[in-house]
Amino acid sequence: MELTRTADLWWKTAIVYCLDVETFSDGNGDGHGDFRGLAQRVDYLDRLGVTCLWLMPFYPSPDRDDGYDITDFYTVDPRLGTLGDFVEFMRTARDRGIRVIADLVVNHTSDQHPWFQSARTGPDSPYHDWYVWQDKPPPDAEKGIVFPDKETSLWTYDRKARKYYLHRFYKHQPDLNVANPAVRDEIARIMGFWLELGLSGFRVDGVPFLLETGGSDDAELLPDPHDYLADLRAFLGRRCGDAVMLGEVNLPYSETMRFFGDGDGVADELTMCFDFIGMQRMYLALARGDAGPLAEALRERPLPPRDGHWATFVRNHDELTLDKLTDDERQEVFDAFGPDKDMQLYDRGLRRRVPSMMGGDQRRIRQLYSLLYSLPGCPVLFYGEEIGMAEDLSAEGRLAVRTPMQWDSGPNGGFSTADPADLPGPIPDGEFGPSHVNVRDQERDPDSLLAWMRKLIDRYRECPELAWGEYTILDTAEPSVLAHRCDIEGTVVVLHNFADHDVKPELELDVTELEDVVTGERITLADNKKVTVELEPYGCRWLRVV
């Protein structure tokens, strides 16, 4: 297809790379990653093929939820640098053609935010109605707790305000009241501020919770909270026409669709939604060695409205949630990829990374990333995945997967020259620690995982049909094989084998010749339009119709 079509809707063929500035690279030797350190790594990200960075929260924070508890939305946490450092980094990224989006965490603030501190003083505070208060917690106060290891209710009594306040997450994260027009104006101001500094959009945290107005006395002012999401998107468009909102919406497909827009065929709310369902069913397929659960999810997955797109991922910064599987299915995934209690979190997810879950089997790890780049959707990587970093279970909860980036085999994995005690997290040791897994070694090894990632990213960019095309799941009569084709002014056919043995699936295609996108090998189809494709254990093939 014509590549010129891909430039306007840049997110459809983007490679998004999520990182936390704090754990990526320390530029001043104080133990914390910072914007100066990150700026020095921009060329590495460019060489990898990243086209868009997603920065996890870098705003001032008491850091009780790794920065998702914010005390000032308009500046940079001093540990990570200054606004000046931020702008220098943005300038460097832009020079390399890399866009930057950032977490927009406006469902709540930190309880240390001056707005909340003022709000607590009572109804005379101009900020009191910026939060959601009740004299008594509602009867369903215990329903829908996100962090059941720490919280027992969504409502907590504040002794100063003498009222209960709503917090969908931790009690130190009071929810903002988006039914209040002043709060909505402020959220737009925050977005406008960072757009002026060059952001290309936002990853919007906890969107369903942000839109929820139940419990707020002002709820009738905002009868349909989706109008608000559409307003935000329109505001974004006025300030920066091609900026995006990538939303965290972990709901069944039918409910997630509502967050793209009101069903009139245009994505005028979120530009992209993460495919949490596809991700969970992919792990079930991997656990079973049977492509069925993933094929089923892809068949069920609705097409996003015009200009909208799904965002795909195999790991993110949170627990690997399996909450949308049945109890038995979740147990199958636990048994396969995280059997110990310590590897599991909140009874619904895993706190491990891909290489350890796959037992270090390079065939399985590589196949998983081949799936990530070839399934329809915008692939989102979590830092360190490209070299095969694993978790450190000695770190608390989700921090197990947020250890410092492993740049080389030297002290602190090349992340920082500081004393190890001053680092934001432990440096893992063992087979996945920096002595064995690091950027420097893999950059020099043509067979490394990093080299494989670069190759896949190149091929993905060469095959925009994967993102733009109409996709069809193909029948192969081989349960372990997922075969799909993407058609738009050209066709790409992709096969993945989920089994630990060779398979030879037969495909029937209305074409005469295929070319392996990775090896260049040509395959001619027989007159009956049938072709047998050989796949190694956990093998994959990307084939372009010649």
- The set of catalytic residues is 205, 248
Please report, for residues 258, 301, 302, the alpha-carbon distance to residue 255 in angstroms, rounded to integers and kept in the order given.
6, 11, 11
For residue 255, the minimal CB distance to ligand NOJ (Å) is 18
Q: Which of residues 314-343 bind ligand NOJ (CB under 6 A)?
A: 318
For residue 60, the minimal CB distance to ligand NOJ (Å) is 15
| Residue 206 lies near ligand NOJ (rule: CB under 6 A) | yes
CB-CB contact of 429 with 345 (8 Å) = no
For residue 319, the minimal CB distance to ligand NOJ (Å) is 9
Q: Which of residues 133-152 bind ligand NOJ (CB under 6 A)?
A: none
From the centroid of its chain, how far is CA 154? 25
Q: CA–CA separation, 471 vs 303, rounded Å?
A: 10
The dihedral built from the CA positions of residue 252, 256, 257 and 258, taken in this order, carries a sign that is positive
Query: Which residue has its beta carbon closest to ligand NOJ?
Result: 68
| Residue 169 lies near ligand NOJ (rule: CB under 6 A) | yes
Q: CA–CA separation, 231 vs 254, rounded Å?
A: 22
Nearer to ligand NOJ among residue 63 and residue 458 (C-beta): 63
| Residue 4, C-beta contacts closer than 8 angstroms, at least 6 positions apart | none
User: Are β-strands 378-382 and 320-321 bridged in parallel, bridged antiparallel, or unpaired?
Assistant: unpaired
| Residue 205 lies near ligand NOJ (rule: CB under 6 A) | yes
| Residue 202 lies near ligand NOJ (rule: CB under 6 A) | no
Phi, psi of 114 (to 5 degrees): -55, -30
Q: Which of residues 443-472 bind ligand NOJ (CB under 6 A)?
A: none
Q: Which of residues 56-75 bind ligand NOJ (CB under 6 A)?
A: 65, 68
Nearer to ligand NOJ among residue 13 and residue 110 (C-beta): 110
Give the strand order in the sheet containing 133-134: 133-134, 163-166, 155-158
- Letters for 240-279 (x = contact with ligand NOJ by CB under 6 A, - = none) are --------x-------------------------------
Number of residues that bind ligand NOJ (CB under 6 A): 8
Nearer to ligand NOJ among residue 108 and residue 364 (C-beta): 108
User: Which of 4, 19, 99, 22 is CA-nearest to residue 63?
Assistant: 22
The residue to which tokens 């990224």 are assigned: 93
- End-to-end C-alpha distance for the chain, whole angstroms: 13
User: Which of 144, 271, 268, 262 is CA-nearest to residue 204?
Assistant: 271
Nearer to ligand NOJ among residue 41 and residue 398 (C-beta): 398
Element (H, E) at 472: strand 470-474
Nearer to ligand NOJ among residue 33 and residue 293 (C-beta): 33
- Letters for 88-107 (x = contact with ligand NOJ by CB under 6 A, - = none) are -----------------x--
- The residues that touch ligand NOJ, with contacts defined as CB under 6 A, are 65, 68, 105, 169, 205-206, 248, 318
